Chains A and B, each alone.
Chain A
Amino acid sequence: MSAVAVEGVWKFFGDYPALRDVKLAAAPGACLALIGRNGAGKTTLLRILAGFSRPGRGEVRIFGGGPRETETRRRIGFLGHGISVYDELSALENLTLFARLYHLPEPERAAREWLERTGLTRVANGLVREFSRGMRQRLAVARAFLHEPSVLLLDEPFTALDDKAIAVLQGLLRGALADGKTIVMSTHQLREALELASDVALLSRGQVAFHGPRTPEMVADPGYVYARYGEG
Chain B
Amino acid sequence: MDYLRQFWVVSVKDLRAEFRTKEAINASLAFALVILVLFSFAFDAADLEEAAMNEISGGLLWIAFAFAGTLVLNRSFVRELPNDCLDGLIAAPISRSALFLGKAFANFALVLAVEMISLPVFGIFYHVRWASQFPELLLVLVLGTWGVTVIGTITSALTVNIKLREVMLPMLTYPILVPALMSAMQLTTRLMAGEAIGADTGMWLKMLIGFDVIYTSVSLILIEVVLIG
**Which A residues fall within an 8 A CB radius of B?**
50-54, 70-71, 73-74, 76, 78, 80-89, 93, 97-98, 100-103, 127, 143
Contact = CB atoms under 8 A, between A and B. Distances in A.
B84 A101 contact: no
Interface size class of B (residues with CB under 8 A): 20 to 34
Interface stretch (B39-47, B53-61, B89-97, B131-139): B89-97
Contact of B91 (A52, A81, A97): A52
Binding site secondary structure of chain B = helix
Contacts of A143: 88
Contact of B92 (A73, A82, A127): A73
B83 A76 contact: no
B92 A52 contact: no
Contacts of B89: 101
B17 A84 contact: no
A134 B95 CA distance: 32
B82 A87 contact: yes
Given A84-B84, A100-B5, 8 more contacts: A53-B228, A70-B93, A73-B92, A84-B85, A84-B88, A86-B13, A88-B17, A97-B13
B83 A83 contact: yes
B16 A93 contact: yes
A88 B84 contact: no
A89 B21 CA distance: 10
A103 B82 CA distance: 24
B168 interface: no
B163 interface: no
A47 to B, nearest CB: 8
Nearest to A50: B91
B9 A100 contact: yes
Contacts of B16: 89, 93
Interface of B: 2, 5-6, 9-10, 13, 16-17, 20-21, 82-85, 87-95, 228-229
Contact of B228 (A54, A71, A74, A78): A54
Given A54-B229, A97-B13, A89 B20 contact: yes
A98 B92 contact: yes
A52 B9 contact: no
Nearest to A82: B84
Given A82-B85, A83-B83, A88 B92 contact: no
Contact of B87 (A54, A80, A86): A80
Nearest to A143: B88
Contact of B83 (A74, A87, A100): A87
B18 to A, nearest CB: 8
